[in-house]
Amino acid sequence: MTVEDLEELERSAPETVWLEFIGGRLAVKRGPDGNRSEILAWLQRLWTEEPRGLWLYGFRGVRSGAGGADRARVDGVLAPAGHFTGHGEWSEPDGVLMVVAITADDHDSDRHTRTAKPPCYAAAGIPVHLLIDRDDCSVVVFSQPEDGRYRHEEKLPFGAAVKLPEPVNFTLDTELLKEFVD
């Protein structure tokens, strides 16, 4: 399968089906459940209070992987406000400061989120990847992308103060995440 095949499939798929193309493989991404949506909404509210003009966009399609060969449907993308104006379904990673992934309470999707996507985002040069893992009640911060992988990874339990490194430079109090464990 090619990226062009994915894009053709996506055009004819129902709105309830989200497709991704990671590492040459087609994947169906599960849509957000109530808790996942609430986590994203909570994160978005945090950024409205942030004075640097950044916004956390929900459920964006991002070209990722080496040379933009992959297509990821990202739960949250942190970028300057207005960054995606004029973009189509899939955006280049340039200007993206952070991507956010929230596990979906689906074994196959969650395995894909934990293993296939971090190298994909690193290869695209996305500076920070935040994984909110509802299964083991942890937050993982990936940073320092180099040669298709993140050189730094920090895993902390829900409830910890999580320092998001540059260029995000934000401390996230994750106590509230305890409320959204299934």
The total number of structural domains in the chain stands at 1
Question: How confident is the model over 1-14, as a mean pLDDT?
Answer: 78
Residue 182 has pLDDT above 70, yes or no: no
Which domain does 112 fall in, by range? 33-180
Q: Is residue 37 part of a domain?
A: yes
| Token pair recorded at residue 60 | 């964006």
Tell me, what CATH number does 133's domain have? 3.90.1570.10
* Cα angle 7, 57, 115; round to 5: 65
Q: Is residue 2 part of a domain?
A: no
Is the preceding omega at residue 167 within 30 degrees of 0, hence cis? yes
Question: How confident is the model over 121-147, as a mean pLDDT?
Answer: 96
Give residue-wise pLDDT tens across range 22-70: 887 777 766 677 888 899 999 999 888 777 889 999 989 999 888 778 8
Spell out a b/e string for 17-53, using b for 16 or more CB atoms within 10 Å of the CB, else e: ebbbbbeeeebebbebeebbbebbeebbeebeeeeee
Q: Is residue 130 part of a domain?
A: yes
| Token pair recorded at residue 179 | 């409320």
The pLDDT, as a whole number, for residue 107 is: 66
Of 122 and 111, which is predicted with more confidence?
Answer: 122
| Token pair recorded at residue 130 | 């935040």
Give residue-wise pLDDT tens across range 137-180: 999 999 999 999 999 999 999 999 999 999 999 999 999 999 98
Of 19 and 61, which is predicted with more confidence?
Answer: 61
Q: Is residue 115 part of a domain?
A: yes
The pLDDT, as a whole number, for residue 8 is: 81
Q: Is residue 61 part of a domain?
A: yes
Gap between the Cα atoms of 131 and 140, Å rounded? 5
Q: Is residue 93 part of a domain?
A: yes
- pTM (global) more than 0.85: yes
| CA-based torsion, 100, 42, 90, 16: positive or negative | positive
Q: Is residue 25 part of a domain?
A: no
Q: Regarding beta strands 161-164 and 149-157, do their DSSP bridges make them parallel or antiparallel, or are they unpaired? A: unpaired
Give residue-wise pLDDT tens across range 100-116: 999 887 666 777 788 88
Q: Which long-range contacts (CB under 8 A, 24 or more apart) does 47-54 make?
A: 47/78, 50/170, 53/80, 53/81, 54/78, 54/79, 54/80, 54/81, 54/97
Gap between the Cα atoms of 52 and 40, Å rounded? 19
Q: Is residue 19 part of a domain?
A: no
